[in-house]
Amino acid sequence: MFKKILIANRGEIAVRIIRACRELDIRTVSVYSEADRQNMHVRLADEAICIGPAQAEQSYLNVPAILTAAEITDSEAIHPGYGFLSENPQFAEACAASGIAFIGPSPDNIRLGGDKAKARQVMKRRGVPVVPGSDGPLDSVAAAVKAAKKIGFPCIIKASMGGGGRGMKIVNAEEQIEDAFYMAQREALTAFGSSELYLEKYLQDIRHIEVQVLADTKGRIIHLGERECSIQRRHQKLIEESPSSFVSEKLRKRLGELAIRAARAVKYRNIGTVEFIVTPEEEVYFMEFNTRVQVEHPVTEMVMGVDLVKEQILLSAGMPITAKKVFKPRGSAIECRINAEDPDRFIPSPGKIEFLHQPGGPGVRVDTAAYCGWTVPSHYDSLIAKLITFGSNRQEAIARMKRALDEFVIEGIKTTIPFHKRVLENRDFKEGRINTSFLDRLHKPETPTG
Ligand code: ADP
């Protein structure tokens, strides 16, 4: 087992990893930028090293600085968290070349997970259904037009190397393709360093449902059920749940089998997430493979009684999965992402937290690195806390979430707490009538009662 792990991340996920390490009796090293000197992850770790200025390119994405920090602290492994270097195959390779274990899957697994056009092709070959779309990347506008005409409108143009809901363009007619294609190319090149695009049918009224998988070095693969992530803004998740109220036992079995088939197809090792689109008719399509711990992993932990971060560390140390064969969800869990953002306009609201009171009581979990007096910097992602509630059923989890949101007080900055309260009051949400267009409908009149 590892004796010391360096955490190449910040904020709530760094704190989450430190907690898992403490329980496994592993020492921790935090790295931080000059903007994060006063951060909780710096204070909680056994050791902490400054790796550069505030700009992420010079600190949390600075591979030589991070590897040097690992070497001088005698760290045996690096946990990348999510975001930053977590899905960078060159970083995983650089760790291996320095004799440091990367807590995650192989560089090849990461490379395929990051190349969505290629992953689609691999899945299709292995009998995992994919959304109808282009066969591989598009090399020209003409190729995009041809693919779109074949599958019909509306379509969605996506960046092969895309992520975080960015770089996607919906096209409703042939004459929109050219502009959308060049715009998507430009955005993809700036954001992901590659202008490669592909195209899919844009499906309506769909749900985003993903399956958590665990795979050990012996080739054993299990799944831990689904997470419903359909409450999204601009294709980014805001509220997640497990289990999904839409998923029947039969559908859960199918999703699980497809996720395991997807993981087997790429000889996956470590924890990972297979994302699917699910239509109202229960058709299931592979969307992408995420090769890291997800922001929303706690909802699975709550209903499955598993510590996914500890499992991830154990798998990376070459340990086998010890868990029983089939997990059944117990109760219901919901996560609200609390961002330092204006809740109406969703624009960042960095600044000093003047007062903080965290909710507690039965079935409430708060994953955060925020504290009273801490200044939220403007340089990074605006997620400052994850509020997770657990109940014996969805109704109780929702009631607890409402209660916990009322107890949660953050003063000095704006947060998305008022937004979550609005969603939780919505009748369609309460009754589980959700899909990825839910937020577009939120301000429109609700379905009338009969
Ligand atoms: P990213 O990696 O950037 O998160 P994804 O491919 O996972 O991108 O898509 C993000 C979200 O965009 C999905 O959760 C879904 O809401 C929407 N989306 C993606 N592909 C389609 C599609 N073919 N039809 C409808 N919605 C889609």
The reply to whether 90 and 151 lie within a common domain is: no
Q: 108 lies in a domain?
A: no
Query: Helix or strand or coil: residue 66?
Result: helix
**Nearest residue CA, atom 6 of ligand 1?**
287
**Nearest residue CA, atom 13 of ligand 1?**
235
Q: What is the CATH number of the domain that holds 56?
A: 3.40.50.20
Residue span of the structural domain in which 247 resides: 207-441
pLDDT for position 450? 40
pLDDT for position 329? 87
**Nearest residue CA, atom 9 of ligand 1?**
165
pLDDT for position 445? 52
pLDDT for position 326? 67
- Contact in structure between 295 and 386 (CB atoms under 8 Å): yes
| SS3 sequence of 6-24 | EECCCHHHHHHHHHHHHHC
**Nearest residue CA, atom 27 of ligand 1?**
202
pLDDT for position 332? 98
Q: 448 lies in a domain?
A: no
CA 285 to ligand 1: nearest atom: 23
Ligand 1: which of 82, 118, 158, 168 to mutate, most ligand atoms within 8 Å of CB?
168
Q: 109 lies in a domain?
A: no
Whether 43 is catalytic:
no
Ligand 1 is surrounded, with C-beta below 6 A, by 131, 156, 162-166, 200-203, 206, 208, 232, 235, 275, 277, 287-288, 436
The reply to whether 248 and 369 lie within a common domain is: yes
- Strand intervals (E) in 202-331: 207-215, 221-233, 236-242, 270-278, 284-290
Other residues' Cβ atoms within 10 Å of the Cβ of residue 125: 9
The reply to whether 184 and 223 lie within a common domain is: no
The reply to whether 195 and 211 lie within a common domain is: no
Q: What is the CATH number of the domain that holds 157?
A: 3.30.1490.20
The reply to whether 10 and 26 lie within a common domain is: yes
Identity of the amino acid at 218: K
Which residues are within 8 A (CB) of 148 and not within 5 positions of it... i.e. 6 or more apart? Answer: 155, 171, 174, 177, 199
Q: For 71, list phi and psi in degrees, rounded to 5.
A: -70, -45
pLDDT for position 328? 83
Domain tally, the chain:
3
CA 232 to ligand 1: nearest atom: 16
The candidate with the shortest Cα–Cα distance to 382, out of 351, 319, 343, 339, is 339
Mean pLDDT by 10 residues, the chain (450 residues): 98 98 98 98 98 97 98 98 97 98 98 94 96 92 95 95 86 96 93 93 96 95 97 94 97 97 96 98 96 98 96 96 77 98 93 98 98 97 97 98 98 98 97 95 58
pLDDT for position 449? 44
Q: What is the CATH number of the domain that holds 345?
A: 3.30.470.20
User: With 0-12 CB in 10 A as exposed, 13-18 as middle and 19+ as buried, what is 103?
Assistant: buried
The reply to whether 225 and 357 lie within a common domain is: yes
pTM attached to this predicted model: 0.96
The reply to whether 160 and 298 lie within a common domain is: no
Q: 165 CA distance to ligand 1 centroid (A)?
A: 7
Q: 125 lies in a domain?
A: no
Distance, in Å, from the CA atom of 93 to the CA atom of 110, rounded to the nearest integer, reads 11
Q: 412 lies in a domain?
A: yes
pLDDT for position 443? 64
- Strand intervals (E) in 128-204: 155-159, 169-171, 197-201
The reply to whether 78 and 137 lie within a common domain is: no
Q: 427 lies in a domain?
A: yes
Ligand 1: which of 130, 235, 274, 276 to mutate, most ligand atoms within 8 Å of CB?
235
The reply to whether 39 and 152 lie within a common domain is: no
**Nearest residue CA, atom 14 of ligand 1?**
208
Q: 437 CA distance to ligand 1 centroid (A)?
A: 12
The reply to whether 139 and 215 lie within a common domain is: no
**Nearest residue CA, atom 11 of ligand 1?**
235
CA 133 to ligand 1: nearest atom: 23
Catalytic residue among 111, 207, 292, 365: 292
pLDDT for position 31? 98
Q: 446 lies in a domain?
A: no
Residue 207 tokens, joined? 């749900």
CA 287 to ligand 1: nearest atom: 6
Which residues are within 8 A (CB) of 81 and not within 5 positions of it... i.e. 6 or more apart? Answer: 7, 8, 9, 13, 14, 17, 292, 293
CA 167 to ligand 1: nearest atom: 3
